[in-house]
Structure 1
Amino acid sequence: MSNTEVKTRSVQVNNDFGQTGKFVKDNQKSLLFIVGAIVALILLYFAYQKFYLAKRETEAADQMHVAESFWAQKNWDKAIKGDAGYPGFEKIINDYSSTKAANLAYYYLGTAYLNKGDFNKAIENLSNFRGDDSFVSAEALGSTGDAYVELKNYDKAESYFQKAADKAKNDFLSPLYLKKLALVYEVQKDYKSAIESLQKIKTDYPNSAEAQNADEYIARDQARQ
């Protein structure tokens, strides 16, 4: 590169920086306002988390223990609607939306409706549950599958039982949902897929209770093919 080109490029770079500096200078007030607004939003977010949401989380958890007790006793109506001064899961969801307690209440509420035989409400509430725990999340997916079986929507049931088995990844729930998946395939006379699900139980979960009688189901499905 020649000296002339170097000088030309240097002038261009300086001009570029000069333009940037001019922009900052000309728009200093606007930029300060934008930065201030961003800082204020960040502070508001942390204040919301600490002073508002944390308080609601505590209140919701305190309110929920009676409904959980009703649920454990299989008193589904009181678990859903509450009793005397204690709210049920429906009210907790309405009063404490966006809290972890309300999210968990969707799971409890969905399984309560499932046991009451209101399968559409069971699906609605279980579908609103969002969980990181693989055990509870798998149960929510599996219970959704159970509700779809009752509604004879076997395609949806297949999907949810498969998701539940994949989510659980343990020797207790995964083989259970794989067996339910096989039974749904049997209802649809898809014996090949049923056998594949049962074989997966034997291969991946050989010590599970479901694996002990898998051969019996496999033989039955092979005879039906």
Structure 2
Amino acid sequence: MAKKEKVGAKKDDDVQKKETFVSKTILFFTKYNKFIYGAIIAILVVIIGILAFNRFYLQKQTEKASLLILKPIDEMMKGDSASVMLALEGDDDMDGFLSIIESYKITRTANIARYYAGICYFKLNDKEEALNYLLKFKRKEDIYWAECQALIGDIYDDLEQPEKAIKHYEKSVKASHNPYVTPVTLFKLGQLYEREEKWEKALNAYNQIEKDYYDEYEKMGIERFIDRAKGKLD
């Protein structure tokens, strides 16, 4: 009987606690309702503002920048130093990559322009400035990411920083299975591993070319590199 009384008392206590909590909650909202409603309205205003910004300003800026970037890309593709410099800096008739980055910095096009600016500096043999732009390129555009990481790897290799080169080559390989970029990057990775005397990793890179990129495998004569790496491991 005493046990039943304890259970009943516990239930009454739980009910009382719930009623107290509800009463306090109602009292809180009654006391601070203006502040709460004001906060909700402020949040809604911010959300609506962000949506309006994206819809009416950012979208128009992106569309405009997307058209402007076509000319410097065409100019850069000509390949000579004068054209590459013009693509980078622009002139009175054309916005260059640098001005697009500055004028449309919050757009995705500005991010793409960073990638192309890095290529231009690389072509102009300014490797430090090329790295400055390529390392700022954000992974929003997967179509360029693997190539960007491979180019960063090339620059670090040229600057005799093999560990950093390996890091970015590996990023490139993991990011894409591009039949034009990936096998070449794997080969460069294998060569770097050889120089660092990491023969097992070199063999893995060469084997991946043989396994996943058969057409390129024959063109690159990768078999002799596989045999050499195996020989070093025996």
TM-score (norm 2): 0.88
Moved more, 214-223 or 32-41: 214-223
Alpha-carbon RMSD across the aligned residues, in angstroms, is: 2.0
- 1:4–1:221 distance in 2 versus 1, CA, 3 Å: closer
Secondary structure, counterpart of 2:135 in structure 1: helix
- The residue number in structure 1 matching 2:118 is 110
**Partner AA of 2:152 in structure 1:** T
1:150 aligned onto 2:158: yes
Query: Which of 204, 222, 225 pairs up with 1:214?
Result: 222
1:165 aligned onto 2:173: yes
Query: Is 1:205–1:211's contact at 8 Å kept on the other side of the alignment?
Result: no
Q: In the TM superposition, what are the counterparts of 1:7-156 in structure 2 within 5 Å?
A: 7-74=12-79, 75-156=83-164
What are the superposed Cα offsets for residues 147-197 of structure 1, whole Å, 9 maximum, x if unpaired? 111111111111111111111123332211100111222333444432331
- 1:8–1:134 distance in 2 versus 1, CA, 3 Å: closer
The CA distance in 2 between the partners of 1:212 and 1:184, in whole Å, is 16
Runs of 4+ with deviation above 6 angstroms: none
TM-score (norm 1): 0.91
Residue 222 of structure 1 and its aligned partner are, at CA, apart by 5.2
Query: Is 2:210–2:217's contact at 8 Å kept on the other side of the alignment?
Result: no
Secondary structure, counterpart of 1:131 in structure 2: coil
Residue 7 of structure 1 and its aligned partner are, at CA, apart by 2.6
**Partner AA of 2:101 in structure 1:** I
Q: Percent identity?
A: 24
What are the superposed Cα offsets for residues 41-60 of structure 1, whole Å, 9 maximum, x if unpaired? 11111111112211211221
The CA distance in 2 between the partners of 1:53 and 1:134, in whole Å, is 21
The CA distance in 2 between the partners of 1:4 and 1:148, in whole Å, is 75
Structure 1 unaligned regions, length at least 5: none
The CA distance in 1 between the partners of 2:213 and 2:142, in whole Å, is 17
Aligned pair count reads 225
Query: Which of 166, 171, 178 pairs up with 2:186?
Result: 178
Structure 2 unaligned regions, length at least 5: none
What are the superposed Cα offsets for residues 55-109 of structure 1, whole Å, 9 maximum, x if unpaired? 2112212222211111221221011111332111011101110101101001111
Residue 205 of structure 1 and its aligned partner are, at CA, apart by 2.5
Secondary structure, counterpart of 1:130 in structure 2: coil
- 1:50–1:68 distance in 2 versus 1, CA, 3 Å: same
